[in-house]
Structures are given as C-alpha cells and as structure tokens.
Amino acid sequence: MFRFFLKIAPDLSDTEVQSVARRVLAHGVEGVVATNTTLAREAVAGHARAQEAGGLSGAPLLEASNRVIRVLRAELGSFIPIIGVGGVMSGANAVSKLTAGADLVQIYTGLIYRGPALVDEAVRATRSA
C-alpha cells in the first residue's frame, strides 16, 4: 500500500505552516515529516563555518523544528501523523518532539555524532515520558 508523506522546511512562518496544513488536509496527504534542514544561520552565528551554503542539520534545528511540529499539530488535530525530525541529539530531544505533537521521531544527525547509544537513550526517554 502506498503512503504519501510531505516533508516541510523549518524556515516557514507559522502562517505558511498553517497554509501547508490546510493543503495536507484538502489533498489527502497521509502524513507530514517535520522538518527538513534549515537555511537559517542564527543558531550558529559566530561559528567559523556559519556562512557555508546548504542545509544545516543537527542541534541548531531543534527549536525551529519543534515550533513547526506544534503549529502542524494545532492545525491537523490528531488525524494526520507527524514524524518529528531535526536536532535529536539526546533522549530529552526525542521527548521534546513528542511533547511538541509528533507521533514518531526520526534520528539521523544525532546518530552520526553520538552513535547507536543515542537510539537506546531515545527509546528509554520516550518510553518513560
């Protein structure tokens, strides 16, 4: 069975996220992946490589991603699953995705930096939350 999930950016305003959510509902999208990488550099201002081009992932993405998840959940209700992605570097970060309204959590960059121990930590943290 085919499933269609839409992946959105953390750089959208709340109004833009609300607009995306309305389209998700109107067009039968079955889920949302929130979020992709960010082009914003405020979270790494002053870092030697802050001005490099391309999408930024990891810890600097956490709060922007969680904001998008909160807005999506408010607009989508409980009808559409949200996969929380972005900035999961600890078990507490994984819990923050669920608290923001995600149904599932994806870990990628954190796995690169922390290794498999992060998976165990995140599973334990989310089970006890």
pTM comes to 0.90
- What residues are paired with 105 via a beta bridge? 84
Does a structural domain hold residue 69? yes
In a domain, 47, yes or no: no
Residue 80: domain span: 5-38+56-128
Domain with residue 96: its CATH number is 3.20.20.70
In a domain, 106, yes or no: yes
Kindly state whether residue 64 falls inside one of the protein's structural domains. yes
Query: What total number of domains does the chain contain?
Result: 1
One digit per residue, pLDDT tens: the chain, 129 residues?
Answer: 678 999 999 999 999 999 999 999 999 999 999 998 776 656 666 666 667 666 667 788 899 999 999 999 999 999 899 999 999 999 999 999 999 999 999 999 999 999 999 999 999 999 997
Secondary structure in 3-state letters for the chain: CCCCEEEECCCCCHHHHHHHHHHHHHHCCCEEEECCCECCCHHHCCCCCCCCCCCECCHHHHHHHHHHHHHHHHHHCCCCCEEEECCCCCHHHHHHHHHHCCCEEECCHHHHHHCCHHHHHHHHHHHHC
43: in domain:
no
Instruction: State which amino acid sits at residue 10.
Output: P
CA Rg value for the chain = 15
User: Would 33 be classed as within a structural domain?
Assistant: yes
